[in-house]
A = this chain, B = another copy of it.
Amino acid sequence: MSGNSFGTLFRITTWGESHGKGVGVVVDGCPAGLSLEEKDVQIELDRRRPGQSAISTSRQEEDRVEILSGLFEGKTTGTPISMLVRNKDARSGAYDAFRTCPRPGHADFTYHARYGIRDHRGGGRSSGRETVGRVAGGAVAKKLLSQEGIEVLGYVTELGGIKAQIPDVQHLSIIKELAESNTLRCPDPMAAEDMLKALDQTIKGGESLGGVAEIVAMSVPPGLGDPVFDKLDADLAKALMGIGAVKAVEIGAGLECAQMSGCQMNDPIVWDKGGVSFESNNSGGILGGISTGSPVICRIAVKPTPSIASVQRTIDLSTGEPAEIEIKGRHDPSIPPRIVPVAEAMVALVLADHLLRGKVVRV
C-alpha cells in the first residue's frame, strides 16, 4: 500500500525510478511565507549528485530541479510544492542480466516477492536515485529550520574500519568546513586520507566498504516530540533506517549505553545563562522522546555497497536454476559520503515536522 509519504504536518511524497522519466517530490504542509527558490534546492541536490569524484558512480546527471508549484513571487504560499528532476544518463542495458537473477544484498528479490513485477533497470524504485526527492524535500525543510536558527549537518565518522576523530559538536562550523573539504565528507583530514587509500584498494579488488555517519542538529529547542509513539528519536530512527543500506541507528551514547552505569549515563541538569542545560549529552538531545535543547545527535551504520565486481552466487527466477553474476554497472564503492546529504535531509524533515507539531500542544 501507499508508503511513499513521510511526515505528518510537513509531509513529502516522493516518486520515480532510476531509469524512468525522472524523479521528484511533492512537499505538502510547508507553511506560507517562506522565501524559497530553486537555488536553495539545487545546492542540496548538487551535494548528493553522482559523478562528483573518483569514488562515486560515474553516472552523469545534471540533476537540475524544476519547482512546478507552490511558490509565488519567491515565497511559499502554503500549497503543495512539486519538484521535478528529469533522468538523463540512464544506461539500462547494463541491467539486463539482473532481470531474472536477483543481485545479493539488493532489493531485487524482495520487490519481486512483494509486487510480482518490477522495473529492474538500475534497481527501479529501490535505486539510490530515489533519494533525489528526499533531498529536494529536505532542502525545503532545512530552509524552514534555518528560520528558527536550527542547523543540520552530517559527516562520515568511520569508513572501512578507519575511525575519525571528531571535534566537539559545539564547533560545528569547523566540522562543517573540514567535512565539506574532502570527497569523503570526513571532518578528520588524516583519517580521510587513510580512508581514501583503503577505498583505492577496495576498488582495485572489486570490493566495497561500509562505514558510519553522524548527523547533528544544533539549536533544536526543547519540547519537540510526541510521545508515546511519535517520539522525536522514534521518528528519527524511522527516517534514518529507511535509507537504503542503513543497518543501525544510534541516538547519543547509542550502543555504548549498554556498558554504562546510570551514574555515567545520566546527564546532570544545570542552570546555564538563565536557561536549563545539561552537563553532558549522552541522551543525544532527547529524553522521553522529546528534545532537551542539547544538540540532537544521531549515527547510522551503512553497509558496504552490495554492487561488487566479484562473482556472486544467486538464482535465476525464470529457470529455477542457480546462477552467478558479476555487477559491472557504475557504482559507488562506499556509500556513506553520499548518504550524508540524504541523512541530513531526513533529519531535517523530521525536525520540520515536529517543529510544526510543537505549535499545537498547549492551550
Contact = CB atoms under 8 A, between A and B. Distances in A.
B241 A248 contact: no
Interface in A216-230: 222-230
A287 B242 contact: no
Contacts of A76: 363
Contact of A109 (B29, B292, B357): B292
A217 to B, nearest CB: 15
Given A82-B15, A227-B125, A306-B266, A247 B242 contact: no
Given A263-B308, A361-B78, A69 B21 contact: yes
A54 interface: no
Interface stretch (A44-52, A169-177, A185-193, A297-305): A297-305
Nearest to A123: B288
A260 interface: yes
Nearest to A70: B15
Chain copies in the assembled complex: 4
Contact of A361 (B84, B115, B282): B115
A78 B360 CA distance: 10
A144 B363 CA distance: 8
A363 to B, nearest CB: 4
A69 B4 contact: no
A138 interface: no
A90 interface: no
A223 B229 CA distance: 25
Given A20-B68, A223-B113, A271-B320, A263 B207 contact: yes
B3 A257 contact: no
Interface in A260-285: 260-271, 276, 279, 282-284
A256 B258 CA distance: 16
A66 B21 contact: yes
A78 B269 contact: no
A158 interface: yes
Nearest to A284: B247
Contact of A322 (B270, B286, B310): B270
28 contacts: A2-B10, A3-B225, A14-B228, A15-B79, A15-B81, A21-B68, A21-B69, A33-B115, A77-B124, A77-B125, A105-B266, A109-B287, A110-B291, A113-B276, A114-B222, A125-B227, A208-B261, A212-B255, A228-B242, A235-B238, A238-B241, A247-B252, A249-B249, A253-B303, A255-B255, A257-B303, A262-B308, A268-B313
Given A78-B361, A104-B268, A107-B288, 12 more contacts: A2-B10, A6-B229, A32-B114, A32-B362, A105-B262, A110-B292, A159-B258, A202-B261, A207-B262, A229-B238, A234-B239, A256-B301
